[in-house]
Amino acid sequence: MKDERSGSKALSRWPLALVVLVFALLAGATLANRLPIPVIAIYTGASLIAFVAYALDKAAARAGRWRTQESTLHLLALIGGWPGALLAQRQFRHKTSKPSFRVVFWATVLLNCGALGWLMSASGGGALRAALGAG
């Protein structure tokens, strides 16, 4: 019985561990001048907005009110809010049992991480600095 609980706790902690790892990598890349500071601000802001959007959507679902469109939740994840969305999914147990949503969610995570990797490359970094006017 004790083993089941510890396994369940470990499983429930992995989203937090992943989010901490992602923000540590973002901070490290910023300190190494691989990413400009606004990138961390975008991830932080988008994650907070995504977390709140999931909380509001869960409350609306319980109350039978108007819901946030899934495309909106996916867009927030795609632009860098997936860490907050992942934490909200676990915190509120929201959107965790719908396979079609989860597939698209993880696709947005992979696309976002791929874009982030490109932004840390020489060509992507130059494009990002030019876009931010820091070129």
Tell me the per-residue pLDDT of 71-123, one tens digit each, with 9 for 90 and over. 999 999 999 999 999 999 999 988 888 899 999 999 999 999 999 999 888 88
Instruction: Categorize the per-residue pLDDT at 70 as very low, low, confident or very high, splitting at 50, 70 and 90.
Output: very high
Closest CA to 109 of 117, 97, 120: 117
pLDDT at 2: 46
Measured CA to CA, the distance from residue 76 to residue 50 in angstroms comes to 6
Instruction: Categorize the per-residue pLDDT at 134 as very low, low, confident or very high, splitting at 50, 70 and 90.
Output: low
Q: What is the mean pLDDT of the chain?
A: 89
pLDDT at 3: 46
